[in-house]
Amino acid sequence: MLTKLMPQDEVLYQEDFIQDEVSYNLIHLLAGSPQNLGLKSPDGRMIFAQSPRGNAWLWISRKVSEDRRQHLLQALVSELKEVTLPGVTGEPDVAEQFASCYAEERRETYRHHMTMESYHAPAVKPPHFVEGTIRQAAAEDTQQVAQFLVGFSEDAYGVRANAASQVETAQRLIQQGGLYLWIAGGKAVSMANVAHRSPRHGRINAVYTPRAERKKGYAGALVADLGLRLLQDGLVPMLYADQANPVSNRLYQHIGFSRCGTISDFKFVNNE
């Protein structure tokens, strides 16, 4: 019998989960909203969390045996009989095992979508001699941020968009206060966002530099500056990087981020 995952749930403070929490940082965010679906096993060794229409995140403790893991996954699939999932994200073997069980139960198929590396930086190494300075994004930056989001959408997800469709997202990110720009030569040349602060980490996302401004160190300088700010607030900066993008992975490693685990994303084909 699975039980409800609560905001600030005690399972999120247990050693088993803390060992893996950089990779599974989004579970903190998902658990914090009552509109999301959250479940856990009675022994706290499995956590499932999903936002409406979003991919589910699934964590199972490393200490769980193969037989016990299969039993937990079958119990979870049974619990989700009335829930339609677009996909699942988690440690590659666990996520694929669940995807197989869930797809078989519903007579669907699944496919691998992407694999990400999770990183954290207990000590940040800012790059030297990079022109420019950091500035928090403001309302007057809305159109520029919308343009950056168009490029980010295409680079990160392969989805083409236009600036008008990104204005609302730009406004929301600016209003939330976590979006920062790198300013060089009197203009914005890169952006990055502090998306969420969990009890021990600050998650950085939406890192983007236009093609014409790349290879000048702007993104590294911006992410490093945000990382130092998070460390000053008592949080360890963390982020995810697409495994298929070696440039971004090298960039993060160069400024002090180290790998903490691999996460795979699977999609259920009939529900995309």
Write out pLDDT tens, residues 9-45.
999 999 999 999 999 999 999 999 989 999 999 999 9
What does each C-alpha distance from 151 to 116, 161, 162, 218 come to in angstroms?
A: 20, 8, 9, 16
Sign of the four-CA dihedral 55, 61, 62, 65 = negative
**Domain ranges across the chain:** 3-118+265-271, 133-256
CATH of 133-256, one of 3.40.50.2000, 3.40.605.10, 3.40.630.30, 1.10.10.410: 3.40.630.30
For 202-253, write each residue's pLDDT tens digit.
Answer: 999 999 999 999 999 999 999 999 999 999 999 999 999 999 999 999 999 9
Amino acid 158: pLDDT: 82
133-256 shares the fold of 3-118+265-271: yes
C-alpha 110: how far from chain center: 21
- Pair of tokens at residue 239: 């982020």
Q: What percent of the chain has pLDDT over 70?
A: 99
Is pLDDT of 272 > 80? no
> How far is 189 from 147, CA to CA, in rounded Å?
11
Closest by Cα among 121, 149, 150, 225 to 183? 225
For 61-107, write each residue's pLDDT tens digit.
Answer: 999 999 999 999 999 999 999 999 999 999 999 999 999 999 999 99
Q: What are phi and psi for residue 100, nearest 5 degrees? A: -65, -45
Q: Give the domain 3-118+265-271 fold.
A: Aminopeptidase (3.40.630)
> How far is 117 from 257, CA to CA, in rounded Å?
11
